[in-house]
Amino acid sequence: MLIGIDDTDSPEGMCTTYLGAVLARSLIREHMQVREARLVRLNPNVTFKTRGNAAVMLDVEGDPDRAFGMACAFVEELADFSCANTNPGVVVVDRQLNPTFYERAVKDFCEIEDAVHILDRAGARYRGWKNRRGLIGATAAVSSRLEDRTSEILVYREPGRFGTPRSVDRASLFAAEAATFPHTWDTVDRVNDVVVCVPHTPDPVLFGIRGESPKWVMAARKLVASEQPGLEQIWVTNQGTDAHLVDGTIGALSEGLSYRVRGIVGGAPETGTGGHVSLLIRDGDHEVRCMAYEPTKNFRQIVRRLVPGDAVIACGSYKKGSINLEKMRVIARASTISTRPPVCTACNKRMTSDGKAKGWKCKKCGARTDAPDVQEIPRTLETGWYEVPPTARRHLAKPLCRGLPE
């Protein structure tokens, strides 16, 4: 059977993955076999999300009625019902549902009624609390088919420490990254000297390490020194896979979807208040603004080096009329030339303009020419892919260390 759970946490605490990990252990104690624990991230632009729009799925061998009862009991015990935005959902199905619903949930928006309709048709055991919105994520989790997958080991705190400052040895995190990158990523941000994998929110997660496989995340995890953890779970995930991106065309983008779009830089990049960089890109008569916000740090230097005429692919979510850049490919660079008055070949002095469209004249010897001094300005930006740093990376965004997009 597949058990899907979502929407159990609030900004004040809890985490659906923790509930999933606790449930997995209880199922094992009941002699059920947990074949896979899966963590799926869904559309990052859903406004109801608490943090990273995660839902979980457990693939379990055992009695579905018993498992459903246990999952519901854990939700009742652990979910933060006090929060208006916490609307849990639990689903148990005997086989994976049609992946179309998952695809829509990760790339687009879904309605609660659509999830309920699918669950009724599949004869699923399900329960939704309060407005039942969690049924969307829970249904998406049990319908997920992962074309590409990564791993994350989530190390959870002992319950007595929830809400207190976390103790994870910084140097050991940098050492873990150095020893296992590029097979693990986003443990730390070496360029910006920041720890990325330890949350600052009051949830049960102590730290999480993302990587290509259980073997690699485990190898990195073993190098991390920290307070005594309560529980650990390796999740199969769609994180770092670009599962949210769809190919889009400028002029036909929908609010809240995440795209890969081609365009030509239409104007010089502008840096606004707060250090946010904006860039217009065009496709025919249509244009769209791309944003590299201040938290994207050094990535903004790349965007600032683009010039009108450069051909790019921009990747990111389309929100309020702008694409929030996650990564970008410089496909072809426009040639940048500067035009200056020419130098007189006889006097070796720079000539002066003889009036608009009238060419240039040497003040000393009176020689004239119509040919300006044209110089190619060397570009400092190479073609290729560029990405935001680990501190600014979204869960679903595929890091370039996993291989360049096609």
Q: Which residues bind ligand ATP (CB under 6 A)?
A: 6-9, 15-16, 42-43, 46, 48-55, 87, 105, 109-110, 133-134, 136-137
- The CB-of-87 to ligand ATP minimum distance in angstroms stands at 5
- The CB-of-106 to ligand ATP minimum distance in angstroms stands at 7
Name the residue nearer to ligand ATP (CB basis): 62 or 199: 199
Strands (E), 97-149: 125-128
82 HSE (CA, 13 A, CB side): 5
Name the residue nearer to ligand ATP (CB basis): 137 or 389: 137
H-run or E-run covering 339: strand 337-340
The answer to whether the Cα torsion of 129, 133, 137, 138 is positive or negative is positive
- The CB-of-196 to ligand ATP minimum distance in angstroms stands at 17
Q: Which residues of 31-60 are buried (b: 16+ CB within 10 A; e: fewer)?
A: ebebeebbbbbbbbbbeebbebbbbbbbbb
- The CB-of-277 to ligand ATP minimum distance in angstroms stands at 28
Neighbours of 213 (CB within 10 A): 15
Name the residue nearer to ligand ATP (CB basis): 38 or 361: 38
Let me know: does 255 contact 162? Beta carbons within 8 Å: no
Q: How many whole angstroms separate alpha carbon 161 and alpha carbon 86?
A: 23
Cα angle 260, 262, 268; round to 5: 115
- The CB-of-20 to ligand ATP minimum distance in angstroms stands at 9
3-state secondary structure of 202: coil
Name the residue nearer to ligand ATP (CB basis): 132 or 329: 132
Neighbours of 23 (CB within 10 A): 25
Instruction: Sort 358 into a burial class: Cβ within 10 Å, 0-12 / 13-18 / 19+.
Output: exposed
Name the residue nearer to ligand ATP (CB basis): 10 or 150: 10
- The CB-of-140 to ligand ATP minimum distance in angstroms stands at 6
Name the residue nearer to ligand ATP (CB basis): 2 or 54: 54
Pull the structure tokens for residue 396: 């679903």
Name the residue nearer to ligand ATP (CB basis): 180 or 233: 233
- The CB-of-255 to ligand ATP minimum distance in angstroms stands at 13
Neighbours of 305 (CB within 10 A): 16
Name the residue nearer to ligand ATP (CB basis): 48 or 174: 48
- The CB-of-7 to ligand ATP minimum distance in angstroms stands at 4
Give the rounded distance of the alpha carbon of 149 from its chain centre.
14
